[in-house]
Amino acid sequence: MTKYIYLLFTLVFTLVSIQPAMAGNPDRQGEAGAYELLMNPWARSAGLHSINTACITGVEAMRLNVAGTSRITKTEIAVGHARYLEGSDLKMNAIGIAQKMGKNGTIGFSIMTLDFGDIAETTTANPDGTGSTFSPSFFNIGISYAHMFENKISVGILFRAISESISNAGAFGMTLDAGVQYVTGPQDNFKLGISLRNIGSRMKFKGDGLSRLTQFDNDGAEYEITLEQRTAEFEVPSMLNLGISYDFVFNETAKLTAIGNFTSNSFAEDFLSAGVEFNFKNMVVLRAAYRNEFGEDPAEGVQNSVYTGLSGGISLQVPTKKGGQSNFGIDYAYRASNPWNGTHNIGLRFGF
């Protein structure tokens, strides 16, 4: 067991030692792209404002701390849908599967897409619209592997491909996520989680939409040539999460989990968050959280993100086989925002 403790602290040291290069920096806010990597389509973790780094499990862990995918029984399939910032007409959709490989390994696959609806097409020649519509295609695909050591330490790694495009231009990138979870206590009460997310390549838009035909005059002779516009590269929004949780087990039917989390952002203010989750008979789960962002100063014109900090959610789950090894669950979450009318998440899960 000692060697696994050394492994844990080696991972912690590695993640923390590289953090100064990516520490929270509000001066760089807005300089990154691919912010859909920070959007959460999964209802269980969204109800806790994505702060359950230490105790997240199953398919949803691929979005927050991939090490948590290892803590499933055999197979978990999940589907998620969200109405992002109600009133913006933007929606998120996701589907994922996690599958045990042998006794301790777990592989996972997930895909998330954004639905922008139909957007009126405008051009420089038709600023009021051409009468046509278009919808950007934004999606990312993740493939992961996680491994559990003696039910105490879980480590995981995930590779994600990101695509953003319209009909005549697009950008593509690759990112890496890594995470670790440590469980201890008489009833596995105490959990520690660390995750490093969205470390990857720069992205750049390319395509025919960035070129245009123009007239070129050469000593009185006019030629029609194509000019290519060069675009700037942009980084993806990397972050580091440090989380802890503790389970207060009242009896065989009721459990209260207290959760804390610190998030260090490369291109935004850092977050310090806390939340609670109450589990009754593993059939009804209630959750709530508050996320505090550092650095807000209205006098200096510095404002926090659109979320006000409050979130909440509920899960209803029922066993589909005796022994509780297989279950079906419905999840819902709400995150308050200003402006707009908050983000609503709903999800379905099936585990066996």
Task: Using the Cα atoms of residue 209, residue 215, residue 218 and residue 222 in order, give the sign of their dihedral.
Answer: positive
What are the C-alpha distances in Å from 115 to residues 108, 134, 137, 237, 316? 23, 11, 8, 21, 27
Rounded Cα gap, residues 303 and 39, in angstroms: 19
Between 252 and 1, name the one with better pLDDT: 252
Question: ω before 339 within 30° of 0 (cis)?
Answer: yes
pTM: 0.89
pLDDT at 84: 97
Mean pLDDT calculated for residue range 306-324: 87
Rounded Cα gap, residues 151 and 75, in angstroms: 17
Helix/strand number for the chain, H first, E second: 3, 18
Mean pLDDT calculated for residue range 259-277: 93
Neighbours of 13 (CB within 10 A): 10
Annotated domain spans of the chain: 2-351
Taking all residues of the chain, what is their mean pLDDT, rounded to a whole number? 88
Q: What is the topology classification, in CATH, of domain 2-351?
A: Porin (2.40.160)
Q: Is residue 1 predicted with pLDDT exceeding 50?
A: no
Beta strands in 16-132 (DSSP E): 75-84, 90-101, 105-115, 119-120
Q: Is residue 22 predicted with pLDDT exceeding 50?
A: no
Between 150 and 175, name the one with better pLDDT: 175
